[in-house]
Structure 1
Amino acid sequence: MMVSVLTVLVDDLRSFTDGRAALVARTSADAVTLLGRHRHDHIDELWLDHDLGGTDTIWPVVTLLEQAAFDGTPFDIGAVLIHSANPPGAIRLNQTLRRWGYRVRAVPGSPAVGYR
């Protein structure tokens, strides 16, 4: 029996360096749409970058996750991994999602994501 792993990466430029299978969103709008399509699926890992190019940031995605938790139906996410190179943004993101009960780990500079 094959077990399917669902990994989502939200980053405007970087990808997984090991080529692992993942759903990738390059903008916050695309990430919101992607997460909406997987609203009732278990997401094993959700990798988040803070700054998504230009004036776009991860905050529309955070708002979606917060609203779901506020409504009593948080997204089913095994781990949220924050790989942002923006320390203040990453700290705020970490604090916000933890407040809503999501399991969050900061992994700045992770070799798992990079420019390919």
Structure 2
Amino acid sequence: MAVILGVDDLRALPHATRVARTSAAGVRLLEEHRDARVDELWLDHDLGGEDSIMPVVAVLEEAAFDGRPYDIGMIYVHSANPSGAETMTRALRRWGYPVRRATGAT
């Protein structure tokens, strides 16, 4: 069974096997899958109020910096915030993660 994770405060993400609604929950979700293959990771930038995806991105960046990037088949950025989506995409690609901009959710 494919492992499809999502971090999004509003979207249903019906194909996701697990969904986190805050950045803190997203970080915990990544930690739970630290040594496992994640087939797809769906990320939204704005997570309600002052919360954003950037703490999750920081965990991914730090893992790559330490030489142990997460094993992720594809990261889909599906944010309605164009500048936030570009920031996420650029940061993750810089560390070698496969990233696609998505226009819709799963």
TM score, norm. by length of structure 1 = 0.88
1:78 and 2:99 aligned: no
1:92 and 2:92 aligned: no
Question: Quick one: which amino acid aligns to residue 12 of structure 2?
Answer: S
Alpha-carbon distance between aligned partners in 2 of 1:20 and 1:94, rounded to the nearest angstrom:
22
Asked if 1 retains the 8 angstrom alpha-carbon contact of 2:11 and 2:105, the reply is no
Q: String of CA shifts for 1:5-29, please: whole Å, max 9, x gaps.
A: 000010001112xx32420000000
1:106 and 2:97 aligned: no
1:63 and 2:63 aligned: no
Alpha-carbon distance between aligned partners in 2 of 1:79 and 1:104, rounded to the nearest angstrom:
6
Q: Secondary structure at the match of 2:42?
A: strand
Question: Quick one: which amino acid aligns to residue 77 of structure 1?
Answer: I
Question: Quick one: which amino acid aligns to residue 45 of structure 1?
Answer: E
Which runs of 5 or more structure 2 residues have no equivalent in the other structure? Answer: none
Whichever of the two has the greater Rg, that structure is: 1
Alpha-carbon distance between aligned partners in 2 of 1:14 and 1:46, rounded to the nearest angstrom:
14
Q: Secondary structure at the match of 1:15?
A: coil
Alpha-carbon distance between aligned partners in 2 of 1:21 and 1:32, rounded to the nearest angstrom:
16
Which runs of 5 or more structure 1 residues have no equivalent in the other structure? Answer: none
The aligned length equals: 106
Residue in structure 2 matched with residue 7 of structure 1 by the alignment: 4
Structure 1 moving runs of 4+ over 6 Å: none
TM score, norm. by length of structure 2 = 0.96
Residue in structure 2 matched with residue 36 of structure 1 by the alignment: 31
Question: Quick one: which amino acid aligns to residue 34 of structure 1?
Answer: L
Alpha-carbon distance between aligned partners in 1 of 2:68 and 2:30, rounded to the nearest angstrom:
14
